[in-house]
Chains A and B, each alone.
Chain A
Amino acid sequence: MKNSNKPLKWMRKNLLATIGDSLLTLVIVPLLLWASYSLLHWGIGIAKWHAVEENLRVLMVGTFPAELVPQVWIAAAIMSALVGITFGGLVVASVVFSTAATSLLALIALCATYSNESAITYFCGCLAVGVIAHSVSLKVPKVKKYAVLLWCVGFIGISALVAPAGWDRVGGLMMSVLFTLVASVLSVPLGVALAFGRRSKYAGVQVICTFYIEVMRSLPLILVVYCIWVVTPLLSPGYPGPDLVRGLLGFTLFFAAYVAEYVRSGLQSVPKGQIEAAQSLGMTPYYINRDVVLPQALRVVVPALVGNVLDIFNTVPLLFIIGITDFLRAGQMILVNPQSGGYTYEIYLFMFAVYLAIASVITFGARRLEARMAGDHR
Chain B
Amino acid sequence: MTQMTIEIQAPAPRIDIKPRRRILYLAKQASIVLVAIALFAWLAYAIRSGLARNGINFDMGFLTQSANFDIGEGELLTLQGLRQFVSSDSNAQALFLGLLNTLKTSCLAIAAATVLGVFLGIARVSQNWLVRQLSFIFVEFVRNTPMLIQLVFWYFAVVLRMPALSDATLWLHSVLFSQQGFYFPGFEITQQPSFVGALALILVPVFLVKAWMVKSKWLTWAACATASLIVSIGSGLPLKLTLPEVSGFSVTGGYSLSPEIIALLLGLSIYTAAFLAEIVRGAINSIPKGQWEAAAALGLTRRATFRDVLIPQVARVVLPAFGNQYISLAKSTSLGIAIGFSDLFNVYGTVANQSGRSLEGMIVVMVSYLLVSWMISAAINTANKRLLKQGGVR
Chain B associates with chain A:
yes
* Contact across chains for A202 and B28 when beta carbons are under 8 A apart: yes
Partner of A218, one of B50, B148, B362, B370: B370
* Contact across chains for A355 and B47 when beta carbons are under 8 A apart: no
Select from chain A the residue with minimum beta-carbon distance to B335: A222
Q: Which residues of A sit under 8 angstroms from B239, Cβ to Cβ?
A: none
Tell me the residues in window 179-210 of chain A with beta carbons closer than 8 Å to chain B beta carbons.
202-205, 208
Partner of A202, one of B29, B146, B362: B29
| A223: Cβ under 8 A from any B Cβ | yes
Complex Cα distance, B149 from A320, in Å, reads 12
| A149: Cβ under 8 A from any B Cβ | no
Q: Which residues of B sit under 8 angstroms from A345, Cβ to Cβ?
A: 157
Minimum CB–CB distance from A83 to chain B (whole Å) comes to 17
Tell me the residues in window 232-259 of chain A with beta carbons closer than 8 Å to chain B beta carbons.
233-235, 237
* Contact across chains for B32 and A202 when beta carbons are under 8 A apart: yes
Tell me the residues in window 128-152 of chain B with beta carbons closer than 8 Å to chain A beta carbons.
128-131, 134, 140-141, 144-149, 152
Complex Cα distance, B374 from A215, in Å, reads 10
Complex Cα distance, B145 from A328, in Å, reads 11
* Contact across chains for B335 and A318 when beta carbons are under 8 A apart: yes
Interface flags for A307-319 (1: CB within 8 Å of B; 0: not) read 0001001111110
| B321: Cβ under 8 A from any A Cβ | no
Q: A218-B327, A220-B369 are in contact. List 20 more A-B contacts (CB 8 A).
A: A25-B128, A28-B130, A32-B130, A215-B370, A218-B331, A218-B369, A223-B334, A223-B369, A227-B362, A314-B145, A315-B146, A315-B148, A316-B146, A317-B148, A320-B148, A328-B148, A332-B152, A348-B149, A348-B157, A351-B149
| A14: Cβ under 8 A from any B Cβ | yes
Partner of A24, one of B43, B131, B365, B374: B131
Q: Which residues of A sit under 8 angstroms from B29, Cβ to Cβ?
A: 202-204
| A47: Cβ under 8 A from any B Cβ | no
Select from chain B the residue with minimum beta-carbon distance to A363: B144
Q: Which residues of A sit under 8 angstroms from B148, Cβ to Cβ?
A: 315, 317-318, 320, 328
List 15 A-B pairs, Cβ < 8 Å.
A14-B127, A17-B128, A24-B130, A24-B131, A25-B128, A202-B25, A202-B29, A204-B33, A219-B373, A220-B345, A234-B47, A317-B149, A328-B146, A355-B144, A356-B145
Complex Cα distance, B84 from A232, in Å, reads 37
Select from chain B the residue with minimum beta-carbon distance to A17: B127
Complex Cα distance, B367 from A364, in Å, reads 38
Interface magnitude class on chain B: 35 or more
A219-B331, A223-B366, A235-B50 known; A355-B146 Cβ under 8 A: yes
Complex Cα distance, B373 from A218, in Å, reads 6
Complex Cα distance, B51 from A235, in Å, reads 9
* Contact across chains for A355 and B130 when beta carbons are under 8 A apart: no
Minimum CB–CB distance from A376 to chain B (whole Å) comes to 22
| B215: Cβ under 8 A from any A Cβ | no
| B206: Cβ under 8 A from any A Cβ | no
* Contact across chains for B156 and A231 when beta carbons are under 8 A apart: no
* Contact across chains for A356 and B128 when beta carbons are under 8 A apart: no
* Contact across chains for A230 and B345 when beta carbons are under 8 A apart: no
A231-B359, A328-B152, A332-B152 known; A237-B53 Cβ under 8 A: yes
Complex Cα distance, B28 from A204, in Å, reads 10
Minimum CB–CB distance from A144 to chain B (whole Å) comes to 26
Minimum CB–CB distance from B349 to chain A (whole Å) comes to 8
Q: Which residues of A sit under 8 angstroms from B38, Cβ to Cβ?
A: none
| A15: Cβ under 8 A from any B Cβ | yes
Select from chain B the residue with minimum beta-carbon distance to A205: B32
Residues of chain B whose beta carbon lies under 8 Å from any beta carbon of chain A: 25, 28-29, 32-33, 36, 43, 46-47, 50-51, 53, 127-131, 134, 140-141, 144-149, 152-153, 156-157, 161, 327, 331-332, 334-335, 337-338, 345, 358-359, 362, 365-366, 369-370, 373-374
Complex Cα distance, B155 from A331, in Å, reads 15
Complex Cα distance, B145 from A359, in Å, reads 7
Complex Cα distance, B33 from A332, in Å, reads 48
Q: Which residues of B sit under 8 angstroms from A204, Cβ to Cβ?
A: 29, 32-33, 36
* Contact across chains for B369 and A230 when beta carbons are under 8 A apart: no
Interface flags for A325-366 (1: CB within 8 Å of B; 0: not) read 000100010010000000011001001100110011001000
Partner of B366, one of A18, A219, A237: A219
A25-B130, A218-B327, A355-B149 known; A230-B358 Cβ under 8 A: yes
* Contact across chains for A220 and B332 when beta carbons are under 8 A apart: yes
| A46: Cβ under 8 A from any B Cβ | no
* Contact across chains for B338 and A320 when beta carbons are under 8 A apart: yes
Q: Which residues of B sit under 8 angstroms from A374, Cβ to Cβ?
A: none
Q: Which residues of A sit under 8 angstroms from B369, Cβ to Cβ?
A: 218-220, 223
Complex Cα distance, B143 from A352, in Å, reads 12
Q: Which residues of A sit under 8 angstroms from B345, Cβ to Cβ?
A: 220, 222-223
Complex Cα distance, B29 from A328, in Å, reads 48
Complex Cα distance, B47 from A221, in Å, reads 21
